[in-house]
Structure 1
Amino acid sequence: MLLLRTVAAVVSVLLVAPPAGAAPAAPPRVPEAVGWGGAVSSVDPDASQIGIDVLRRGGNAVDAAVATAAALGVTDPFSAGIGGGGFFVHYDAKSRRVSTIDGRETAPASATDKLFVENGVPLPFDQAMTSGLSVGVPGTPRTWQQALRRWGTYSLRDALRPAEELARRGFVVDSTFNAQVSSNAARFADFTSTSALYLPNGVPPAVGSTFRNPDLANTYRELGRDLGSLYGGAVGRDLVRTVQQPPVTPGSTRNVRAGKLTVSDLAKYTAPFRAPTFTTYRGLDVYGMAPPSSGGTTVGEALNILESYDLAKLSEPEYLHRFIEATKLSFADRNRWVGDPSFYDAPTRQLLSQRFADSRSCLIKPNAVLPAPAAPGDPRNPAPCVSEGVAAPTPQDAERTTHLTVADRWGNVVAYTLTIEAEGGSGMVVPGRGFLLNNELTDFNFVPITPGVPDPNLPGPSKRPRSSMSPTIVLDDHGRVVLAVGSPGGATIITTVTQVLTSRLDRKARLVDAIASPRASQRNSATTPAEAAFIASPAADALRAIGHRFSTNADIGAVTAIEPAGRGQWRAAAEPARRGGGAARVVHPG
């Protein structure tokens, strides 16, 4: 009750507008809020409040999701923005139907399977990342347009206006923003446009200072008038010039390779509607994102594997052992079978079949650890307890992205994960435009991960790299929302979402507690990366006793989620601590 009164007080304070032209005081970060009229959960309080304001003015979940995402492009620009892409999952309360938009970036038409190979050798990941080679055609603005046209009530101009105003008046720099600039300072300093924006006077913006981005505000205004400015017009030409002629600081010793993205590549881009992935779990319907994302198939397969166990009755070590082994096996299958469906016939339906999951589940032993990397199974012809083919570990990727979750007064829900890939993307700000470009093409495998075996995730012309983004919506048997959830974190997204789902649905943890729980992320490797709190737990001691090995990883994920809270209310939940804590908001606190 005290928490709910606190949230009510916070929301009432936030309704007081700042003086014209002034940056507001830093709004609070609240991990849980319950109430009526709709809810928004994101990593950033300014962005969540913008979404709530849209809902309060009569906008629906899609309007609020786009406005929140655009605001994150201002306040969380190192994780997402108009220079990147993402996956948008929508639940329509009237039809009780789940739909998705694929806003994944695409490679230029000139790309070949040797995109990241020089002299027969794959480029080091950090060199590929900070280059024009890694920049794919951004899909985020087209996703916003598609979503608003299909389900929204706002125009793109109206949805972008709050973020435009936020970028113009500025926001208060927090420790997370400062730390993200600081950790990329050497890279950002090597580009004239990036250093001018994020390293004023050669240092990161100070905590407590006001950060403004008028170039981005102007870009939002231009795109609101005509999105074609990005997909073939003036903004697009500036973007292409940045990729082909990276704005390297004179005297820099960094070897920044130019890319071959063209205005034609931008003009041909589409953000298609795709059928969601679907599986059942404990009588619930689980919907996710289909290829080129591996999120829906891999989360779904892991859940199907775990369905053969009564997770509610297991001890914590027994539960975690099965969770870790299930994600190990599902990643083995992900690495072998999932890629862009326009280039590769990914066996999505078979990967999500209970028959295939049962053939994998029987490999898990209660007191022993499967060898890793584990070999994949064959979803088209599953053989019980048999792994076939050559084991392949999960390739390196980056772990920065963002996720937002929205519900409105009518019961519509959005789970939306968007990204520019690594923290800071490619490191290049488009001069005069105020936004960072993605490095999403490094999500391709640079070379085949298993020699002699077809690799579904090699680069190719106009191809979309495989993703791990896992925006997920769970419905009951009447088609009503039970939970909507997602997370950033590269390939750790899949394990994070699976862990939160099983913790909430099986172990009956409170949603905010399921989000806060220490995490481990097994992705078919010999050791399981885990947070320090997980490694120090008694459960980890028990897991080590049967053969599990752990390596320390910093914060894994940054979940946002929403669920019904009874009597027509919504519960919004976010991270209490990771990334400085998230921001849950409701329109009318209960």
Structure 2
Amino acid sequence: MAKFSPTAAPRALPVSRMRRGATVLLTTLTLSIVIGAPTALAKTPLATGTGGAVATISAAASQSAMTILNGGGNAIDAAVAAAATLGVTDPFSCGIGGGGFMVIYLAKQQRVVTIDSREMAPAAFTPAVFLQDGKPIDFDSAVASGAAVGVPGTVRGWHEALSRYGSRSFRQVLAPAIRTARQGFTVNETFNRLTTENEIKFRQFAGASALYLSGGKALPVGTVIRNPGMARAYSEIAARGTAAFYGGPMAQAIVDAVQRPPMVGGATVRAGQMRLADLANYEARIRQPVHSTYRGYDLYGMAEPSSGGMAVAEALNILEGYDLKAMARPQVEHLYVEASRLAFADRNAYLGDPEYVEAPVAGLLDKAYAAQRRALIDVNQAATRASAGDPYLFQDDQSVPLRPAAARPPRQESAHTTHFTVSDKDGNIVSYTFTIESWGGSGIVVPGYGFLLNNEMTDFDFSGPHPNVPEAGKRPRSSMAPTIALKNGKPAFTIGSPGGATIITTVLQTIVNHVDLGMPMNEAIDAPRISERNGAASSVEPGFAASAQGQALARMGHRWDAEAEEIGAANALVFHADGSVTAVSESRRHGGGAALVQRTGH
């Protein structure tokens, strides 16, 4: 393979002889890879000022939101603009090939609404879709397959948000993302690392390998990627709205890619059974938020099929019985871990798509039930795996309920998603988490349209009986937890994160850091993270186990996973009494984030 030269002019080459710095032409997919990037936008993880604000993991996405806000658009308009741009610059974690959950605060009405655009199982799905000879198939082989692809909901979710609560059209809010896709973005260290981690998966699929690999290897840092296929997809949506995505040529291309995944050489994967009718019949849901209280705050999160809002609320209800402010930090973190363990035991036992499973929501959110669960915690010693409780005793339920199942090891769950948050000068707020599931989703790029399809169906439990088994038309349980907090009826802060099941613990721990330990939000986000999901050991970040905090917790019996890695990539807004707002993103995780406000304070 030729040496990569940063000064070499791009030239057309056959796919079989792709080189770094080359322009690649496919019959159904065109991507331009060049050197000499557009001027890189600076990232600042913390900004305070007045007017609208945004915090995302991408400088280009934050700037897209700010462009819409500066042009008179509201927070909902800006959120769609940021999300669309993230689909270009962070395509391995999100995009129109996936789905998500949006929590919106409407300032004039002083109410919170939520939009569920979670992916849905095709009509051909059965509980045995991921079984072979009665046993669950290998998880990794399930991920990289057409069978893993759920009906994408993102575009329908954007439409619901704009048509109900926005003030701008698809054409207006998608313009920044179309421009980014055409002009290109620069491969940074994080993008290169994520591509490298997915080389094996991407090598199997023609579209992904053409888009993101050269000679089977990740594109080097400094490469500029232009994606005219994605610009085409966005342009068609801008012109025709949801009809362009859920019907017509784009829908046919999605179905063809699922049923006959475009592979490299003789590679084969499981085909999916999605049909055009599955796309045409997809609907986003407007759902009531999960509402809970914690130390004077009103917290609003996402209801099922997300488990995030419920699990965070239950864990906080358990923690509310302790005077955490009077305790040393290791003691606080011990209780946080134990509360998380109990909440996950209940989450795993009961929660699923509410259109298929009637979960004991009232009981799980009951403060008296939290007190019963709290009594199981030893304040000086870590527990082992917890069993689910019986929340049915704490609600008026005349049906014959599904009683708690025996605790079992937690199922593998992807940790890859994105979260961001936006507000506007009028006080409207969006907290939005969306995803394509694993890094790079299924690995299948829709020919001609440049976007990756999700592998969200692997969020189902592969075997049952269980509330979260696959069924036709069902939405798999999620851990996404976009959250908006009010105090005395006024916005106080937002918080959310990617990270699969670690989303719940990241949001929970950040709230405890901010509310109970009194940390400013940037310090609450930057603090080392621990994630306990009712497993044999807790996940921690590099260096934590050997730290004074880690050793203090180890003396209480806590155990850590052998491999430490970054947990989450949070974004938040904090609203102050003087009318100013602070946007907060990660300072180092995932390469750092980009926080912007319309008018910077002095």
TM-score (normalizing by structure 1): 0.93
Q: Distance in 2 between matches of 1:568 and 1:182?
A: 44
Q: Which secondary structure does the structure 2 equivalent of 1:220 belong to?
A: helix
Q: Distance in 2 between matches of 1:200 and 1:565?
A: 49
1:312: which partner in 2?
A: 325
2:143: which partner in 1?
A: 129
- Say if 1:37 and 1:56, in contact at 8 Å, map to a contact too: no
Deviation at 1:566, TM superposition (A): 4.1
Give the partner amino acid of 2:459: D
Q: Does 1:89 align with 2:103?
A: yes
Change in CA separation of 1:371 and 1:215 when aligned onto 2, cut-off 3 Å = same
Deviation at 1:24, TM superposition (A): 2.6
2:261: which partner in 1?
A: 246
- Say if 1:205 and 1:211, in contact at 8 Å, map to a contact too: no
Q: Which secondary structure does the structure 1 equivalent of 2:95 belong to?
A: coil
Q: Does 1:376 align with 2:393?
A: no
Give the partner amino acid of 2:262: P
Q: Distance in 2 between matches of 1:251 and 1:136?
A: 25
1:353 pairs with 363, 366, 371, which one? Answer: 366
Cα deviation, 1:376-400, whole Å, max 9, x if unaligned, reads 00111159xxx96511232101100
Q: Distance in 2 between matches of 1:537 and 1:306?
A: 24
Q: Distance in 2 between matches of 1:425 and 1:505?
A: 35
Deviation at 1:182, TM superposition (A): 1.3
Deviation at 1:534, TM superposition (A): 2.3
Where structure 1 has 5 or more consecutive residues not aligned to the other structure, the ranges are 1-20, 449-453
2:72: which partner in 1?
A: 58
- Say if 2:147 and 2:272, in contact at 8 Å, map to a contact too: yes
Cα deviation, 1:324-381, whole Å, max 9, x if unaligned, reads 0000000000001100001010122221111111110111111122221x11001111
Q: Distance in 1 between matches of 2:564 and 2:73?
A: 40
* RMSD over aligned Cα atoms: 1.5
2:558 pairs with 527, 535, 548, which one? Answer: 548
**How do residues 362-401 of structure 1 correspond to structure 2 at under 5 angstroms?**
362-372=375-385, 374-381=386-393, 389-401=405-417
Give the partner amino acid of 2:517: R
- Say if 1:287 and 1:472, in contact at 8 Å, map to a contact too: yes
Q: Distance in 2 between matches of 1:470 and 1:33?
A: 23
- Say if 2:366 and 2:394, in contact at 8 Å, map to a contact too: no
Change in CA separation of 1:22 and 1:163 when aligned onto 2, cut-off 3 Å = farther
Q: Does 1:529 align with 2:539?
A: yes
1:327 pairs with 340, 359, 376, which one? Answer: 340
Q: Distance in 1 between matches of 2:497 and 2:480?
A: 8
1:561: which partner in 2?
A: 572
Q: Distance in 1 between matches of 2:409 and 2:133?
A: 24
Q: Distance in 2 between matches of 1:391 and 1:192?
A: 42
Q: Distance in 2 between matches of 1:357 and 1:232?
A: 47
- Say if 2:349 and 2:405, in contact at 8 Å, map to a contact too: no
1:339: which partner in 2?
A: 352
Deviation at 1:526, TM superposition (A): 1.5
Q: Distance in 1 between matches of 2:417 and 2:404?
A: 33
Change in CA separation of 1:543 and 1:22 when aligned onto 2, cut-off 3 Å = closer
Q: Distance in 1 between matches of 2:190 and 2:56?
A: 14
TM-score (normalizing by structure 2): 0.91
2:252 pairs with 209, 231, 237, which one? Answer: 237
Deviation at 1:529, TM superposition (A): 1.1
Q: Distance in 2 between matches of 1:185 and 1:149?
A: 39
Q: Which secondary structure does the structure 2 equivalent of 1:133 belong to?
A: helix
Cα deviation, 1:13-52, whole Å, max 9, x if unaligned, reads xxxxxxxx99531112211001111110001111111111
- Say if 1:219 and 1:433, in contact at 8 Å, map to a contact too: yes
Q: Distance in 2 between matches of 1:433 and 1:350?
A: 46
- Say if 2:37 and 2:222, in contact at 8 Å, map to a contact too: no
- Say if 1:23 and 1:171, in contact at 8 Å, map to a contact too: yes
Q: Does 1:285 align with 2:295?
A: no
Q: Distance in 1 between matches of 2:583 and 2:556?
A: 38
Give the partner amino acid of 1:564: F
2:443: which partner in 1?
A: 427
- Of 58-67 and 181-190, more deviation after overlay is shown by 181-190
2:274: which partner in 1?
A: 261
Change in CA separation of 1:223 and 1:388 when aligned onto 2, cut-off 3 Å = closer
2:313: which partner in 1?
A: 300
Q: Distance in 1 between matches of 2:571 and 2:367?
A: 28
Task: Tell me how many residue pairs correspond in the alignment.
Answer: 558
**How do residues 466-481 of structure 1 correspond to structure 2 at under 5 angstroms?**
466-477=477-488, 479-481=489-491
**How do residues 30-109 of structure 1 correspond to structure 2 at under 5 angstroms?**
30-109=44-123
- Say if 2:62 and 2:594, in contact at 8 Å, map to a contact too: yes
Deviation at 1:536, TM superposition (A): 2.2
Q: Percent identity?
A: 49
Cα deviation, 1:458-499, whole Å, max 9, x if unaligned, reads 00001000000000001012x211111100000000000000
Give the partner amino acid of 1:108: P
Q: Does 1:579 align with 2:590?
A: yes
2:420: which partner in 1?
A: 404
